Every structure is written in C-alpha cells, then in structure tokens.
Structure 1
Amino acid sequence: MLKPVLFTIMTAAASLPASTAAAGQRPAVEQAHANQTKLDESDREFLEEAGQGGLLEVRLGQLAQQRAASPDVKRFAQRMIDDHSAMNKRLAALAQQKGVPVQQELSREHREEVDELSRKTGAAFDRKYMSEMVDDHEDDVEEFEEAAKDAKDADVKRFATTALPLLREHLAMARQVYDKVK
C-alpha cells in the first residue's frame, strides 16, 4: 500500500518542474539559482562591497551622533544614516533579486574601523570621522561611476547610476564639513 502512495508522490514531484517550465515559469529555487548564475562576477562584487559600505556609513553615522562635538558633523552623520539606510534597502532588494547574499553584519575590517574611531571624542572625533567620510565617498563615487559605466547587468548599472548624484552630494558635503573641523 505504501508503494502506490510513494509512486504518486514521486511522479507528482518529477512532473512539477516540467509543468512549471511548460507554463513559462520556474520554481523559486531554480529561478534564484538562474539569477545568481547570470550575474557577472564584477557585478556581484560591486553589490557585496556596496552593501558593506552602506552598512559602514550607517554605523559610523550612528557613532558620530554619540561622539561628535560639532553640530555640522552631527547633521552630516544624520544625513548619512537616513540616506544610506534608504540606499541599503534598495540595494538589498536588488541583491536578493539577483541571488546575491547581503551581509547584515560589518566585515572584520569595517568593525576595526568603527572600533578605532570609537576611541575618539569631541573635536578629534570630528576631524577623523570627516576625514574618513571624504576618503570613503571619494572611493564610493569612483566605484559607482565604474559600475554605472561597466556593469554587465542592466539593473546593477541602473542602481549605480541612480545612486551617483547622491554620493557626489555626500562627497561635497563631507569636504565642506571637513574644512570646518580640520
């Protein structure tokens, strides 16, 4: 009696991919794998690095809210928290669509950066934080410009292109605030 039931289950399972393929659909796991394998390695790396960078921007902004002395630095930090949190959500949705895992925790290197900065307070914190924000946004703009130009995937290219004006604005703001606190 068990054999006919097992045979029916196996037959149904074997016919599922064929029936969904015939309907022009793929099972979710198969679709995620197809998206993952379609993404160029450089596009994948860009998404992963952008995700880590966004997490770092938010975490450092939160730290600046606690430790900065300058109201300008605190305003800049809040802007980083707000803008990069929103950008991180868009990036996470894109990465999930493309089958790229998005880390929710900072890398060891970024944790060390946060730890080093957390040892400073007041004006010393302001100078170091804003110096890092200038350097970081210079790197971000360069990486996003490259992805906007060279990404193979149209969605990755569009994400980089639409994020660039905001990152350029952040860089200009970071330079302006850094000039006030250095």
Structure 2
Amino acid sequence: MLRPVLFTILIGTAILPASVAAQGQGATGHQGQAGEVKLSKADREFVEKAGQGGLLEVRLGQVAQQRAASPEVKRFAQRMIDDHSAANKRLAEVAQQKGVLVPQELDKDHREKVDKLSQKTGTEFDRAYMSEMVDDHEHDVAKFEKASKEAKDADVKGFATATLPQLREHLAMAKQIQGKVKGK
C-alpha cells in the first residue's frame, strides 16, 4: 500500500506545501496557505525590526523601574512599558495575519544594550537610559515614517502610520527628560 507524501518547496524564505507552490501562489501572488498574505522583504524586515525594538523598549522600561533615581524617569519608563506592550500586541496581530513571526525574545545586540544599562544605577542610569531613549526613538521615528510612506502592505503601512504619532510624542518626552537629567 502506498502512502501519500507531503512535499514542500522552498521559495525565498517561506516553505510552502507543494500544492500551493504548484499553483504559483506565494512566489508571485503573495498569497500563501489559508489566504495568508505574504509580505514583501522590506515589509517583513520592518515588522521584525519593529517587534525587536518594541521588546527592547519594554525590557529597558522594566530595568528603569528598578534602577532609575528620578521619579520622572520612572514615570517615562512605565509609559514605555505600557505603550510599547500595546503596540507590540497590535504588531503581533498584523504579523500573524501575514504569516510573519514577531520576535518573542531580544536578539544578541539588544540583550547587550539591556545588560550594559543594567549595570548602572541612580543618576548615572537616568542619564544613560534617557540618552538611549532619545537615540532609539529618533531611529524609530525615521523607520516608521519610511514604512508609513513606502510599505507595500496596507496593514503594515496602517500600523506604522497609526503608531508614528505616539513615537514622536515619546521622542519629545525623552528629549525633555534627558535635558533635565543631563546636568545632575
């Protein structure tokens, strides 16, 4: 008795059942299994990097809750935890619809940032954390502006566009608090 065999074909970075690949979907039509919409490489990279950045914001906020001296820095850190946790959840929903996995853990570079900041305390931590938050949010605003204009997928573009005002607000807050803790 012969058993049916399930074949898979590697297309780009996605592995599709042979029946889907044979229909030409996934390779050109951006349509995968069960109606999943496949993202362009740039959109997929944006989703993955935004997920990694969101995880970093939450983790650094948690560290700041323990190590910061300034109540204002601690309030900012809590805001980062709350806002980026919510954004991460929205991003995960978009990514799941598109068949993309968002990171669940920090990569090596981001873990190193957390480890480095975790060694500081008090006002030294406040200055380093707020400097990191300004740099990080400047980078985020630029990436989200680009995605809000250039993303091919409407849901990815919508996520970037909807999240951008909050990132700009975070950047303005970070700059203001950085100015206060710099001189301490």
AA paired with 2:64? A
Q: Flag the structure with larger Rg.
A: 1
1:30 maps to 33
2:85 maps to 85
Structure ranking higher in helix proportion = 1
The CA distance in 2 between the partners of 1:72 and 1:175, in whole Å, is 12
1:54-73 to structure 2, matched below 5 A, reads 54-73=54-73
AA paired with 1:47? V
2:174 maps to 174
AA paired with 2:37? N
CA drift at 1:163: 0.3
Helix, strand or coil for the counterpart of 1:35? Answer: coil
CA drift at 1:31: 2.1
Q: Please tell me the root mean square deviation across aligned C-alpha atoms, in Å.
A: 1.6
Unmatched 5+ residue regions in structure 2? 5-18, 20-31
The CA distance in 2 between the partners of 1:103 and 1:147, in whole Å, is 19
1:28-177 to structure 2, matched below 5 A, reads 30-31=33-34, 34-36=36-38, 39-177=39-177
CA drift at 1:35: 1.9
- Provide the identity percentage: 71
AA paired with 2:117? L
How many residue pairs end up in the alignment?
156
The CA distance in 1 between the partners of 2:93 and 2:153, in whole Å, is 15
Helix, strand or coil for the counterpart of 2:109? Answer: helix
Q: C-alpha offsets along residues 74-129 of structure 1, whole Å, 9 cap, x if unaligned?
A: 00000000000000000000011111111110001000100000000000000000
The CA distance in 1 between the partners of 2:127 and 2:138, in whole Å, is 17
Q: C-alpha offsets along residues 137-162 of structure 1, whole Å, 9 cap, x if unaligned?
A: 00000000000000011111110000
TM-score normalised by L of structure 2: 0.81
CA drift at 1:176: 0.4
Q: Which has the higher contact order (CA 8 A, sep 6+)?
A: 1
- Runs of 4 or more, structure 1, over 6 Å off, are none
Unmatched 5+ residue regions in structure 1? 11-16, 18-28
TM-score normalised by L of structure 1: 0.82
